[in-house]
Homo-oligomer: A and B are copies of this chain.
């Protein structure tokens, strides 16, 4: 019965992912997850004991998916400008594959800031140190203007992540349909990198 067991467990995790990421912890219902996984509600508790634990499993999975993306900026050996261009160009593809994920992680971290400490233990938890060295090095070598690595990192994240988090608001303000907004996002793949590099290049 091994196959089936793992199957059900995974089926639950996938259903839970969909529901939790779309509606958040508070807005999600165990029944909806069970329905989506096409199993009985008892099964959820059989495999994950409680809503809280199921949620944490989903959250950890989500974070483990997001972390490598952040590490592309923080812990990659490529040259700074390439790195910025690469991340910016790739992030949109990531969002298309996991539309609710970044916002989900950010929101639940807002409601439960302690989670970040639990995540820090993980071996691939993104750290800023290496990036900091790289930025400071680029500054001393006269490649970019002086800027705090933290600020630059925040800027890269902001410019890439925010438009997707605030999509409905921005669509409303700019007054474009979803299709047109997607085109704007598509153009950002290159424009945002240029925007950043223009700003820091010497």
State whether the Cβ of A184 lies closer than 8 Å to any Cβ in chain B: yes
State whether the Cβ of A150 lies closer than 8 Å to any Cβ in chain B: yes
Whether A165 contacts B168 by the Cβ 8 Å rule is no
Whether A172 contacts B110 by the Cβ 8 Å rule is no
Stretch of A8-16, A33-41, A100-108 contacting B (4+ beta carbons < 8 Å):
A100-108
Interface string of A158-191 (1 = CB under 8 A from B): 1101110111111111111000000010011001
Query: Are A154 and B158 also in contact (CB < 8 A) when A105-B169, A126-B173 are?
Result: no
Residues of B within 8 A of A168 (CB): 106, 109-110, 113, 116
Whether A169 contacts B26 by the Cβ 8 Å rule is no
Which chain B residue has the least Cβ–Cβ distance from A154? Answer: B163
Residues of B within 8 A of A175 (CB): 127-128
For the residues of A in contact with B, the DSSP-based class is helix
A111 to B159, CA, bound (A): 22
Q: Which of B103, B126, B172, B199 contacts A120 (CB 8 A)?
A: B172
A188 to B184, CA, bound (A): 26
State whether the Cβ of A157 lies closer than 8 Å to any Cβ in chain B: yes
Residues of B within 8 A of A113 (CB): 168, 171
Contacts A24-B26, A116-B172 aside, 8 further interface pairs with beta carbons under 8 A come to A26-B26, A27-B27, A105-B169, A106-B169, A147-B191, A159-B159, A162-B162, A195-B200
Q: Which residues of A contact B (CB under 8 A)?
A: 23-27, 70, 74, 103, 105-107, 109-111, 113, 116-117, 119-120, 126-128, 145, 147-148, 150-151, 153-155, 157-159, 161-163, 165-176, 184, 187-188, 191-192, 195-196, 198-200
